[in-house]
Amino acid sequence: MTSLSVNAQQDAIFSNYIWNPMSFNPAIAGTKGFMTMNATVREQWVGFEGRPRTQAFNMHTSLRNKALGVGASIINDKLGPINSITLQGNLAYKLKIDRGTYLSMGLKSELSLWQGHFVDLELADDPTLANNIRSAFLPNFGFGLLLKDPKYFVGISVPKFLNNELNDGSVEWGQGAQVNHYFAHAGYSYEVNRDLFIKPSLMVNYVRNVPLETTISLNAEFQRQFWVGMSYRTAQAITPLIAYKFNHQVKAGYAFEMALNSLISHQAGSHELMITYDFYYPKGNVVSPIFF
């Protein structure tokens, strides 16, 4: 039996996670109070053969009573010979604590189609891989909590409860193709003046038997229209990013991730493009929303 591990990168990684938090916390669904859609394209480790490539689209909205939120996502992720397409559905309930402060509780269900195009590998002398395309469906579910205030947020989530394996008896794709990820994230919005907001944030990702991963970000928002920021992921990457809001509906962003580990000499960085459309049509002045 031939073994191919896919443990190197369990889930799609996003540099602009602060603008796409529903990818790891289902409690985000409906928190804007109106429908929003987000599309992200990521090219990771440019110049590295078999590098990860990800395309994602998600939308979420609150229902008429504003207490319930629903969301859906589709993620296409490719790493070497392995390709996965994941459909996700999210349901969240908001419990009001105080004026402007609430606790959101979210559930997520997902179904992933994993395909291994082993025929693409240069292993012609291995009879178990010759002309081989394998596929498998993996269901999963997750949970998340979010405490949100106009000036801050704190959240925890486990987006995948099940530890699924990919092993069909002839080709072992990798033990633990889907494993538990435990996330904690928080952020604060500090108003320097009417035209400038400073927004530090933190995300911690824990996976068993893997070093703890921490991402520290600092963003500045100018005139509620232009963002510039920087993030640092422990011992892995540093990422400058920019974003611009064209109007109350459309916002676009770009991030360039520079590796800090041994991969730095083998690739030319990672690029990520993001565009968001909010179905939001306010009248008069609008207070800048916090992050998402």
pLDDT in tens, 63-114: 978 899 999 999 999 887 888 999 999 999 999 999 889 999 999 999 999 8
DSSP string over 17-58: GGG-GGGT-GGGTTTTSS-EEEEEEEE-STTSTT--EEEEEE
Candidates 223, 229, 225; CA nearest to 200 is: 229
Candidates 182, 188, 191; CA nearest to 224 is: 191
Distance CA 5, CA 130 (A): 18
Which pTM does this prediction carry?
0.86
Residue 119 in any domain: the answer is yes
Q: What is the pLDDT of residue 124?
A: 47
Give the count of domains, the chain: 1
Please give the torsion angle defined by the CA atoms of residues 234, 27, 222 and 246, in that order, rounded to the nearest 10 degrees. 120
Residue 6 in any domain: the answer is no
pLDDT at 4 over 60: no
Q: CATH number for the domain including 257?
A: 2.40.160.40
Q: What is the pLDDT of residue 265?
A: 63
3 state DSSP class of 118? helix
- Domain containing residue 175: 27-278
Neighbour count for residue 70 (Cβ, 10 Å): 16
Least confidently predicted of 76-90, 142-156, 160-174, 210-224: 160-174
Distance CA 11, CA 13 (A): 6
3 state DSSP class of 80? coil
Residue 158 in any domain: the answer is yes
Residue 153 in any domain: the answer is yes
Distance CA 129, CA 2 (A): 8
Q: What percent of the chain has pLDDT over 70?
A: 81
3 confidence band (pLDDT: 50, 70, 90)? very low
What are 10-67's pLDDT values in tens digits? 667 788 788 788 989 999 999 988 999 999 999 887 777 777 889 999 999 999 788 9
Return the bridge partners of 232, or none.
216, 238
Return the bridge partners of 145, or none.
105, 156
Residue 20 in any domain: the answer is no
pLDDT at 187 over 90: yes
Residue 89 in any domain: the answer is yes
83, 76 in Cβ contact below 8 A?
A: yes
Scanning the structure block, which residue is given the tokens 């520079």?
258
Residue 289 in any domain: the answer is no
Residue 193 in any domain: the answer is yes
> What is the sign, positive or negative, of the torsion defined by CA atoms of 277, 280, 283, 284?
negative
Q: Kindly report the three-state secondary structure assignment for every residue of 204-237.
A: EEECCCCCCEEEEEEEEEECCCEEEEEEEECCCE
